[in-house]
């Protein structure tokens, strides 16, 4: 899976953040290895600079896999936790989509 862009909103992207994102995208890349073209855009950051309490950080994954568009977003008090949450949701969406695709093929063959 090709990462098109990593965008940081109201935060500075450090190499540690980028490596964490790459580490979380790798398992998803294995799921869609045979489904080309596949690309993902990642956005992480703070919704605004004036938040001090609550869910301050967010992460968003947007992907285009064989013409299907997937979107997942999550908020958390920690940036790394938000990335982990969004990765789980994104992975679930892709697995469900692949199951539906397999089911349609099975039903059509009956």
CA 27 to chain centre: 11
Where residue 17 falls among pLDDT bands split at 50, 70, 90? very high
Q: Which residues lie below 8 Å from residue 75, measured CB to CB, with a gap of 6+?
A: 55, 57, 58, 82
Domains of the chain, residue spans: 2-109
d(CA 64, CA 35): 10
Number of helices and strands in the chain (H, E): 2, 4
Asked whether 56 and 77 are in contact (CB, 8 A), the reply is: yes
What is the pLDDT at residue 108?
67
Over residues 57-92, the pLDDT tens digits come to 999 999 988 888 999 999 998 999 999 999 999 999
What is the pLDDT at residue 4?
87
Dig out the tokens for 32 from the structure.
Answer: 């869609």
What is the pLDDT at residue 80?
95
Where residue 33 falls among pLDDT bands split at 50, 70, 90? confident
Where residue 51 falls among pLDDT bands split at 50, 70, 90? low
Where residue 2 falls among pLDDT bands split at 50, 70, 90? confident
Residue 96 has pLDDT above 70, yes or no: yes
The second-level CATH assignment, the architecture, of 2-109 is: 2-Layer Sandwich (3.30)
């Amino acid at each position: 899976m090709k990462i098109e862009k990593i965008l940081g909103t109201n935060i500075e992207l450090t190499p540690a953040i980028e490596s964490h994102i790459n580490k979380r995208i790798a398992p998803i890349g294995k799921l869609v290895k045979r489904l080309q073209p596949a690309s993902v855009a990642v956005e992480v950051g703070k919704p605004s600079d004036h938040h001090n309490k609550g869910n301050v950080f967010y992460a968003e994954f947007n992907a285009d896999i064989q013409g299907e568009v997937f979107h997942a977003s999550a908020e958390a008090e920690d940036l790394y936790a938000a990335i982990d949450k969004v990765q789980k949701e994104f992975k679930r969406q892709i697995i469900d989509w692949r199951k539906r695709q397999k089911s349609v093929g099975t039903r059509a063959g009956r």
